[in-house]
Amino acid sequence: MDFDLSLEQAQLKDGVERLIAANYPSLETRQKLAREPLGFSERGWAQFAEMGLLGIPFSEAEGGFGGGPVETLVVMEALGKGLALEPYLASVVLGGGALRLAGSAEQKRRLIPAVVEGSLRLALAQTEKQARYDLNDIAMTARKVEGGYLLDGAKSVVLNGDSAALIVVSARTAGARRDAQGISLFLVPADAPGLRITGYATQDGGRAAEIGLSGVRVADADLLGEEGKGLPVLQRLSEYAIAALAAEAVGAMAALHALTVDYLKTRTQFGMPIGNFQVLQHRAVDMLIALEQARSMAFYAAMMVEHPEAQERAAALSAAKVQVNRSCRLVGQEAVQLHGGIGMTMEYIGAHYFKRLTMIESLFGDTPHHLRRVAAADGLMA
Amino acid sequence: MDLRFTPEELAFRDEVRRFFRNEIPAEIRRKVSEGRGLTREDYVTSQRIMNAKGWAVPHWPREWGGQDWTAIQRYIFTEEMLLAAVPLPQQFNCYMVGPVIAAFGSQAQKERHLARIANLDDWWCQGFSEPGAGSDLASLKTKAVREGEHYIVDGQKTWTTLGQHADWIFCLVRTDPAAKKQAGISFLLIDMKTPGITLRPIITLEGRHEVNEVFFDKVRVPAENLVGEENKGWDYAKFLLANERTGIARIGLSKERMARIRRLAQEMPAGEGTMWADRDFRERFAGVEIELKALEITQMRVVAAQARDPGRPDPASSILKIKGSQLQQATTELLLEVAGPFALAAPERGAEPTNDWPFDYEWADAAATSYFNNRKVSIYGGSNEIQKNIIAKAVLGL
């Protein structure tokens, strides 16, 4: 039992943190990058590739660097700490994850090297307007035709869906809208005829897209994984996403907590630093407790995300998301409150951490969703 | 980074688990599990079984019966004890006065007391709090004046847990009234049979006799019973309070109680089914379970840090007491909820615990008792508000 990073992992952490600190010297820089067409810096993405970050989860045989959940945790925590905009979750964890979990040898050979070197970005188009967080709820259809499939339907809040060249789309090849069976995954080029991508800014400074598909034709070779067996892949991706978001949230919460404590030490009222007031001290401690509990669950998520037993794994990841969400809520709200008026302003970076933490709560299952799942799983300790 | 125990640690866990479940009488463990009071004999029986195995004081120095276990082994040992609903070795003996005497006592004190402390031949209680010195412990007033080869002790201690069983009391007393608060305090060992000591029970709200007031009226204490140096008692008290924090969060105890709540909820009729079938209840249960899992990992982080670097406490350790006590209380709230209306009736009883209960849900009276009694866990050992003051200062630098 140990919670230490290996030497290589510590070096990775140091390297990513330094890169992000250099690329995001100020809130102004971040906001400027957020307004670029992609919603992040193309140069920053290339630096991620140079540092090897984009190849972390892929095995060396696939052209990656054979990292695991702990390496992903290290990178995501650094992204959270620096409030970075790069679509690491969308392209590497989700899109790359889909390739890794379901791709054929040929698909992996063709695509993974491009992902790793930064020339190909991916996205996962999963959520639909009626589905909320239910991964099995898919109305999009994929009709079998000679040599391929025809895709029809719409996807919503596709993370960084407007900067990916290739989109992993879930669609129904069989069954009714909420059936577990009959879901298939497809690789759809962003420029496919019949595909309409409407990108927009998100509350936390990122980007997402609404994607419409009408009669989009894909080839048999673009089926990702086995036909009709897509749901387990989506479930695994959701688990990897939760583990990654947990780490990002911890990075962001730690940074926001540090900002808040610093503010308590420097802001003077009634002739003394407001950190002298016990009621504010105790609230800062409450934030610390929430942060440390979330950190523990981010570790837990990283260590459970590749657990071989599916039910235990799913319950563990849901539990982690509940704790992280609750901590995000508390740390975010308290940080704004303890900052007072300045915490309410667009020009203050703390407010942007608060917004990101709030949006993380809603990604891949909110608190009631995952609490219900843990309850239905008949417990964590059974 | 690895959550798993080594094969050696797993073997150790199995050995410890078998020992607790096979060797400690089931009746004692049942009482602990149900939150009923234990008799003095229960404590003595349980501890002597452990001591015979060499396990009553594994965290002590080797020469006085310790085991040279790693921090991880000590953690496994304590968790398994709590999970098996085995009473902890008498805490004032094993976790408080024993380590202080082993670290700061004279050779004569060590030889006279340590083996008897470990075997619970002598029952020790703690004389720290006073009516005017609770969270502000250093404002204590009980004084000890040196007169030849004796100290003359006058004053009053309170909240003396299980003092009614005690043979000895270890006290913080003021030996230098002129010195500033913490500086004039000494650590004194006092035989409870000494003339001038009076003990008065305090019945706590659930009806138990768990704590006491202890009055000292010109009590003559041999000077050889001073631990370490005069006026250095505050340092020893700090050592005592920081000494054995493993298990402070009582996670094993909360897990054991959660498993029990689950069993009871599965049997408790509600609506067309049972309480366990009620989604709202299950979600409340899951909510506590999740926080408990998070705290368990937090505790493992602290233990792993101790194992690696025994001298440097992990900042996360400071949250164990606060969160651990909150979760202990949360579990008693769930238990109270399962008991529902059947928690209402209190059996006829005096101040001492009884186990007579004529109703179908024979466990239900203890649900309310546990709930009431567990309000103490966020108050004793430095209230949670004091803990937050400490964290704000020591960890956050506020």
Does A264 lie at the interface with B, CB-CB under 8 angstroms?
A: yes
Which tens digits make up the pLDDT trace of B383-394? 999 999 989 999
pLDDT of residue B82 exceeding 50, the answer is yes
Q: Name the pLDDT band for B364 (thresholds 50, 70, 90).
A: confident
β-strand partners of B200:
B213
B4, B282, B323 ranked by CB distance to A1: nearest: B4
Name the pTM for this structure. Answer: 0.95
Mean pLDDT for B291-315 is 86
Q: How far apart are CA B290 and CA A118, in angstroms?
A: 38
Q: Identify which of A187, A329, A320 has the alpha carbon closest to the alpha carbon of residue A244.
A: A320
Map residue A362 onto helix, strand or coil.
Answer: helix
CATH 1.20.140.10 fits A232-376, yes or no: yes
In this structure, are residues A325 and A334 in contact, taking their beta carbons and an 8 Å threshold?
A: no
Q: What is the pLDDT of residue B244?
A: 52
Pairwise CB contact (< 8 Å): B290 & A319: yes
Q: Given this model, what pLDDT does residue B126 score?
A: 97
Nearest Cα residue in chain B from A275: B398
pLDDT in tens, B204-246: 998 889 999 999 999 999 999 999 999 999 999 988 877 655 5
What mean pLDDT, rounded, does chain B reach?
92
The tens digit of pLDDT for each residue in A128-185 reads 999 999 999 999 999 999 999 999 999 999 999 999 999 999 999 999 999 999 999 9
Distance CA A125, CA A237 (A): 12
| pLDDT at residue B37, rounded to an integer | 83
Does A299 contact B at CB distance below 8 Å?
yes
The answer on pLDDT for B334 being more than 80 is yes
- Fold classification of B245-394 is Butyryl-CoA Dehydrogenase, subunit A; domain 3 (1.20.140)
Residue of B nearest to A368 (CA): B283
Q: Are A216 and A143 in contact (CB under 8 A)?
A: no
Contacts of A286 in chain B (CB under 8 A): 388
**Looking up tokens 């820089």, which residue turns up?**
A29
Over residues B245-252, mean pLDDT: 78
- Residues in B touching A380 (Cβ below 8 Å): 286, 289-290, 293
CATH topology for B124-236 is Butyryl-CoA Dehydrogenase, subunit A; domain 2 (2.40.110)
What are the tokens at B336? 């109270």
Cβ distance of B297 and A264 shorter than 8 Å: no
CATH superfamily for A7-120 is Acyl-CoA dehydrogenase/oxidase, N-terminal domain (1.10.540.10)
From A48's Cα to the closest Cα of chain B, the distance in A is 24
Partners of B4 on chain A (C-beta within 8 Å) are 1
Backbone angles phi, psi at B370, to 5 degrees: -65, -40
Domain spans of chain A, in order of start = 7-120, 123-226, 232-376
Question: What's A123-226's CATH class?
Answer: mainly beta
Mean pLDDT over B320-345 rounds to 94
Contacts of B286 in chain A (CB under 8 A): 319, 322, 371, 374-375, 379-380
pLDDT tier at B351 (50, 70, 90 boundaries)? very low
Contact status of A319 with chain B (Cβ, < 8 Å): yes
User: Does residue A380 carry a pLDDT above 90?
Assistant: no
pLDDT in tens, A257-291: 999 999 999 999 999 999 999 999 999 999 999 99
User: What does the pLDDT average to over B173-202?
Assistant: 96
More confident residue, B71 or B244: B71
**Is pLDDT at B47 greater than 80 in this prediction?**
yes
- Give chain A positions within 8 Å (CB) of B2: 1-2, 303
| Contact between chains at A299 and B297 (C-beta distance less than 8 A) | yes
- Whose tokens are 């010297």? That residue is A25
Sign of dihedral through CA atoms B24, B27, B32, B36? Answer: negative
B287 burial level (CB within 10 Å; 0-12, 13-18, 19+) = buried
Question: Is the pLDDT at A88 greater than 80, yes or no?
Answer: yes
Mark yes or no for CB contact A1/B392 under 8 Å.
no
Q: Convert the pLDDT of each residue in A188-229 to its tens digit.
A: 999 999 999 999 999 999 999 999 999 999 999 999 999 999
Domains of chain B by residue range:
7-89, 124-236, 245-394
pLDDT at A339 over 50: yes
Considering CB atoms only, which of B279, B305, B316 is closest to A375?
A: B279
Quote the minimal CA–CA distance from B16 to chain A in Å: 18
Q: Is A362 exposed, middle or buried (0-12, 13-18, 19+ CB in 10 A)?
A: middle
Chain A: residue whose CA lies nearest to B297: A296
What is the pLDDT at residue A382? 41
Give the pLDDT of residue A178.
97
Report whether pLDDT(B357) > 60. no
